Amino acid sequence: MQRITSKDNEIVKHIKKLKDKKYRDMSNEYVIEGIKLVQEAVQEKAPIKQIILCDDCEKSAAIPKDLMYEIAKQECIYVSEKVFKYLTEVQTPQGILAIIEKNKKDIEIDYTEDIIVALDDVQDPGNLGTILRTVDSIGLTQILVSKGTADSYNPKVVRSTMGAIFRVKIIECENLKQTLKEIKKHKFKVVVSSLQTENSLYDINYHKKVIVIGNEANGVEQEIQELADEKIKIPMLGKTESLNASVATGIILYEYVRQKLIK
């Protein structure tokens, strides 16, 4: 059993550097932390590379026995409390984190799904994580993200997905506009949210649609709006003119769920 007590250990340095996006991209890895996320990773057979356990943290005792049994099958490294506190991203750590291999870069789009969600430069990590969780909740298994969208493997994003990150394929698009043009060749229609329309989200049929969610401040970029087959807006009865990106996404996607249940 390997036990690390120094912050200068190469493994510790490697984990610490995974806080940086450039290093995550280079190593093709990211970090998850906490009992629930590690449990989800094990259950979903995520590509776990290493599990790091604090061997003298109080909270470590709370790790369930069945999870410890599964963890024992993985490559495990034990660290002192001092080292774990140096590595942790949370205020009250549970004494467990893991290094996970990221999605492969060459993932292909699955055209058999009813709808595809695409994010156009969504910036807030909390929004992105919540959208991933919502996409997972309605049974979709993929999401497209533009190059300007927040990093899907940012620790805050990973935490807010609550495990959805292991079930939803994240397809990073070098050029979202070109990707959407390619998707249209597969008989999908592009739908964008816009205030310049009289159509509400309840006026369209959610079958073979790409739902594009825009940037929090600027919405969907103009070139993609011009590419769209349909524009929709969320009807509002109050004075508020816009909603948080993740809230808006949830409202739109659950109209898809409603239509599916009726059928």
Signed CA dihedral, 162, 163, 164, 165: sign only: positive
Which pLDDT value is given to residue 106?
66
Domain's final residue, options 77, 101, 125: 101
Helices (H), the chain: 10-17, 21-27, 35-43, 65-71, 81-87, 125-137, 155-161, 176-184, 222-227, 245-262
Say whether pLDDT at 42 is over 80: yes
Residues 31 and 106: beta-carbon distance below 8 Å: no
Which pLDDT value is given to residue 225?
94
* pLDDT 10s digits, 192-234: 988 788 889 999 999 999 999 999 888 899 999 999 999 999 9
Say whether pLDDT at 29 is over 90: yes
Enumerate residues 6+ apart whose C-beta is below 8 A from 20.
none
pLDDT band at 55 (very low <50, low <70, confident <90, very high): confident
Same-domain check for residues 83 and 127: no
Same-domain check for residues 63 and 146: no
Which pLDDT value is given to residue 61?
60
Say whether pLDDT at 58 is over 80: no
Domains: count for the chain: 2
pLDDT band at 59 (very low <50, low <70, confident <90, very high): low
* pLDDT 10s digits, 60-83: 668 888 898 898 899 999 999 999
Same-domain check for residues 240 and 143: yes
Same-domain check for residues 152 and 186: yes
Q: For the chain, what's the residue count? A: 263
The residue assigned the tokens 């935490």 is: 159
- The stretch 108-132 carries a mean pLDDT of 96
Same-domain check for residues 131 and 232: yes
Domain's final residue, options 75, 101, 127: 101
Same-domain check for residues 128 and 225: yes
Same-domain check for residues 163 and 77: no
**Domain with 59 in it:** 2-101
Residues 213 and 124: beta-carbon distance below 8 Å: no
Domain's final residue, options 38, 70, 101: 101
Same-domain check for residues 97 and 128: no
Question: Is 24 domain-assigned?
Answer: yes
Long-range CB pairs of 183-186, under 8 A, 24+ apart, other chains included? 183/109, 183/111, 183/116, 183/210, 184/227, 184/229, 186/111
Residues 4 and 83: beta-carbon distance below 8 Å: yes
Structure tokens, 215: 């940037």
Task: Give percent of the chain with pLDDT exceeding 90.
Answer: 77
Under DSSP, the state recorded for 162 is: T
Same-domain check for residues 50 and 162: no
User: Which amino acid, one-letter code, is at 164?
Assistant: A
* pLDDT 10s digits, 233-257: 999 889 887 788 999 999 999 999 9
Same-domain check for residues 69 and 146: no
Question: Is 107 domain-assigned?
Answer: no
CATH classification at residue 127: 3.40.1280.10
- Nearest-CA neighbor of 168 among 181, 178, 182, 158? 158
- Nearest-CA neighbor of 192 among 217, 223, 243, 229? 229
- As a whole number of angstroms, the distance between CA 87 and CA 160 comes to 19
Q: Which residue has the higher pLDDT, 146 or 90?
A: 146
